[in-house]
Structure 1
Amino acid sequence: MQVSVETTSNIERRMTIGVPAQEIDQAVEKRLQETARTVRMNGFRPGKVPMRVVKRRFGDSVRQEVVGEVMRDSYVKALEEKDVAPAGWPRFEPKTMEEGKDLEFVAIFEVMPEIEVGDLSQIEVEKMTAEVTDKDIDKMIDNLRRQQATMKSVKRKSKKKDTVTIDFKGYVDGEAFEGGEATDHRLELGSGQMIPGFEEGIIGAKAGEDLEIEVTFPEDYHNEELKGKAARFEISVKDVEEPQLPELDAEFFQRFGIDAEDEAGFREEVKKNMERELKQAMSAKVKNDVVDGLLETTEIEIPAALVDQEIDRLRNDAVQRFGGQMDPQQLPKEIFEEQAKRRVKTGLLFQEIVKANDLKADPEKVDEKIREIASTYEQPEEVITHFNSNPDQKAQIESVVLEDTVVDFVLDKAKVKEKKAKYDEVIQAAQQQQG
């Protein structure tokens, strides 16, 4: 077998492989003999079909099948011979396949890129720090109560947090516009669902009142024809409802899976959950900044095969989130392409930093991470035992800890600027990066 490798780009290789005709012919002959022993043909007893008849009937298809297998097997042997690690399966291009001649074909494939990580000292990271205050807990509990609230119609003037049922019709330059009309529309005042000035114009109105308000569409409004335009709305207030918040009692606590005896106990559990969420959000924000910095400082060409694999994973994840009722391949790959490229680049960069600096997942931090996860369950000891007795599950935790180790390594060398923030600001910043 003759093998030559040509470098056509940083990550693409063209491997030309030659296989002697004798090897192909012997394999074809052996396969035809096996076929002759089992084939059934009219006019011949089983196993007695003459070889010339078998060859005439099956020769071309058997040869094609054998050549395909030889190309795959020869390709694998050639990789070992040349010590080349592909990033995905190749594309085969036959050059000569004629009977009696040596087989020659080209395997075109990608290899893992050689990565030179950029200057880590040029990476800038904003590290947000915050604490969960009593005010934050009050706000969270108020939100939880409002999620469980019932609504009651009232005769008084409407105010923020009330829900109004309205009919409305909008006009621009004296003409009604498309999409500016609704009947029995329910709207929470102060929620920011409508354009600026709309909800504020309803505050103070009672059920049964008709009113007109004048507002201006924002310059960044999604409808090009309405951007920056002044508008007049005719509004009929049909109902005003105020939320009836549930009592802070055992029944309410249980709705959120919290077994507390009183409000103080409930607040403590809410605080623990908020602190855990805050810690995760701060960590996610820092990690995202680190990844952004690495991608900005390091040029990296990625194999298309790895991107396609990641796209398939993202497709499957998306289908699972929405109930798993469709073929993932029906989802357009373009939807996931940018996210897949970012993930692949990040993974390769992290691997290179781990390899170049001999980083390891600290066993103590792995145990700490398992305890942290277990603390969110009713039987934490059982969860800890599960992870420690399941190598695959524990390996996933080790992988997470190793990523954290890479982030810490980069932070030691990067320009880190701390910024004091509020709980809501940190949560919102992390959510915006994920979105």
Structure 2
Amino acid sequence: MQVSLETTSGLERRLTIVIPAEKVDGEVAKRLNDMSRRVRLDGFRPGKVPAKVMKRRYGLGARQEVLGEQMQQAFVDAVTQEKLNPAGAPTVEPKADEEGKDFEFVATFEIYPEITLGDFATIEVERPVADVKDADIDEMVETLRNQSKSFEDVGRAAENGDQIVFDYVGTFASGERAGEEFEGGKAENSTLELGSGRMIPGFEDGLAGVSAGEEKTLELTFPEDYHSEELKGQAVAFACKVHKVQAATMPELNDEFFARFGVTEGSEEAFRAEVRKNMERELRQAVKGKVKNQVMDGLLSTNEIDVPSPLVAQEIDRMREQAVQQFGGAQGGFDPKQLPAELFEADAKKRVALGLIVGEVVKQREVKVDDDRVRAMIEEMASAYQEPQQVIDWYYSNEQQLSQVKYVVLEEQVVDTILASAKVSEAEVSYQDAIKPAAPEAAPEAAEEQETAEEA
């Protein structure tokens, strides 16, 4: 077998492979001979079909099968000989196929990049430092009460914080389509809490002071940055009919309320202790996540690498499927491939690059999964449930879930490895600032559909 290697561009390689004629022809003849023992043809006894007849009837098919197997094996042998690490299946192009002559084909593919890790000491990380204070717990308790509030009908005009039950119909207010209803601008028996900020500017303010049975038309303008191209900056009118005005009733801090959150014994003190425990868990996870993000960004900035396009394509497909599942499209039979690849390409490249770099850190620093840390992580996750031991047992009986936890732990150990050399500083922040997600980078508009009347 003759092999020639060419670097076409970046990670792309082209192998030209020549398989000797005698190897192909000999394998074809052998295959036809084996087939002749099993083939039954009219006019010939079993096992007595002449070679010429076998070749005429089955030669082409046998040759195609042999060539497929030979190309596959020759490619494996060639990349082994040339010490290449393909990042995906090759594109194969046969150059010549004629009996009695050497068979030549070209295989084009991309390889994994060679990674030389940068200096971890150049990576800068700021670790947030925060405590859960009594005031933070007070705020969380009020948030939980607010989330559990109920609404009851009242006979007065609506005020901020009240909920109204109403119908509305939205129409264009100007231009050729004046008076025409627009898609998504109509609802019956819809509920809206005034002051929630759900609707476009002016909508909720316009309904302040309405009473049950009242009808009111709101003349509004959609924001210029609204997600719907059809409605950006459009003057519209919402014809509203109010059925009910309901005032909010906050739940009391009693045993019934505490039981909703799994606290069945003790008093308010026990409830606040449970709230503190959950907030401290959330705080630890938030700090860990922010530190990890900074480390990963540092890895990317100190290790710029080319990423193989087949791996990026695989990651894009995975992200498409995740997006469809997240927005419920899978139930409707929506094909993830209908989502433009460009929506995910930048993030997919980043994920692939990080995966390759982290893998190289694991390899070079010989990082091994710490089983004790795996158990500690599972126990912490399980502590949020009523029956922690059942959750722990479930993880250890589910190999796929356990593998995911192990990978997360391995990433944490990589982060620790880098932090040991990085420039780490600390910044005291409030609990709220510590758990607040980092500001996202500029990204393409999401494909998520929202109610037309809600603000983007």
TM-score, normalised to structure 1, is: 0.83
Please report how far the alpha carbon of residue 164 of structure 1 lies from its aligned counterpart in structure 2 after TM superposition.
1.1
CA separation in 1, counterparts of 2:141 and 2:43? Answer: 87
Amino acid aligned to 1:6: E
CA separation in 2, counterparts of 1:171 and 1:20? Answer: 75
Give secondary structure in 1 for the equivalent of 2:294: helix
Please report how far the alpha carbon of residue 68 of structure 1 lies from its aligned counterpart in structure 2 after TM superposition.
0.6
Give the helix-richer structure, 1 or 2.
1
Give secondary structure in 2 for the equivalent of 1:38: coil
Please report how far the alpha carbon of residue 239 of structure 1 lies from its aligned counterpart in structure 2 after TM superposition.
1.9
Percent identity over the alignment is 49
Alignment of 1:2-21 (within 5 A): 2-21=2-21
Partner of 2:379: 371
Please report how far the alpha carbon of residue 56 of structure 1 lies from its aligned counterpart in structure 2 after TM superposition.
0.2
Partner of 1:114: 114
Please report how far the alpha carbon of residue 85 of structure 1 lies from its aligned counterpart in structure 2 after TM superposition.
1.9
Partner of 2:193: 188
Partner of 1:270: 275
Please report how far the alpha carbon of residue 10 of structure 1 lies from its aligned counterpart in structure 2 after TM superposition.
3.1
Partner of 1:337: 345
CA separation in 2, counterparts of 1:204 and 1:320? Answer: 41
1:202 is aligned to 2:207: yes
CA separation in 2, counterparts of 1:24 and 1:66? Answer: 7
Amino acid aligned to 2:89: W
Please report how far the alpha carbon of residue 55 of structure 1 lies from its aligned counterpart in structure 2 after TM superposition.
0.8
Partner of 1:74: 74
Partner of 1:97: 97
**RMSD, aligned CA:** 3.8
Alignment of 1:114-193 (within 5 A): 114-118=114-118, 120=120, 123-167=123-167, 179=182, 184-193=189-198
Please report how far the alpha carbon of residue 232 of structure 1 lies from its aligned counterpart in structure 2 after TM superposition.
7.5
Please report how far the alpha carbon of residue 5 of structure 1 lies from its aligned counterpart in structure 2 after TM superposition.
2.0
TM-score, normalised to structure 2, is: 0.79
Please report how far the alpha carbon of residue 154 of structure 1 lies from its aligned counterpart in structure 2 after TM superposition.
0.7
8 Å Cα contact 1:165/1:187 also seen in 2: yes
Partner of 2:452: none
Q: Which range is displaced more, 248-257 or 104-113? A: 248-257
Please report how far the alpha carbon of residue 153 of structure 1 lies from its aligned counterpart in structure 2 after TM superposition.
0.8
Amino acid aligned to 2:384: T
Q: Which range is displaced more, 216-225 or 277-286? A: 216-225
8 Å Cα contact 1:92/1:107 also seen in 2: yes
Please report how far the alpha carbon of residue 30 of structure 1 lies from its aligned counterpart in structure 2 after TM superposition.
1.1
Change (3 A) 1:53 1:231: closer
1:346 is aligned to 2:351: no
Amino acid aligned to 2:65: E
CA separation in 2, counterparts of 1:387 and 1:167? Answer: 48
CA separation in 2, counterparts of 1:211 and 1:262? Answer: 48
Please report how far the alpha carbon of residue 208 of structure 1 lies from its aligned counterpart in structure 2 after TM superposition.
4.0
Q: Which range is displaced more, 206-215 or 302-311? A: 206-215
- Identify unmatched segments of 5+ residues in structure 2: 447-456
Please report how far the alpha carbon of residue 314 of structure 1 lies from its aligned counterpart in structure 2 after TM superposition.
3.5
Aligned residue-pair number: 435
CA separation in 2, counterparts of 1:199 and 1:328? Answer: 38
1:355 is aligned to 2:363: yes
1:30 is aligned to 2:30: yes
8 Å Cα contact 2:262/2:386 also seen in 1: no
Partner of 1:298: 303
1:311 is aligned to 2:316: yes
Give secondary structure in 1 for the equivalent of 2:437: helix
8 Å Cα contact 1:146/1:243 also seen in 2: no
CA separation in 1, counterparts of 2:315 and 2:408? Answer: 18
Q: Which range is displaced more, 118-127 or 57-66? A: 118-127
Change (3 A) 1:171 1:362: same
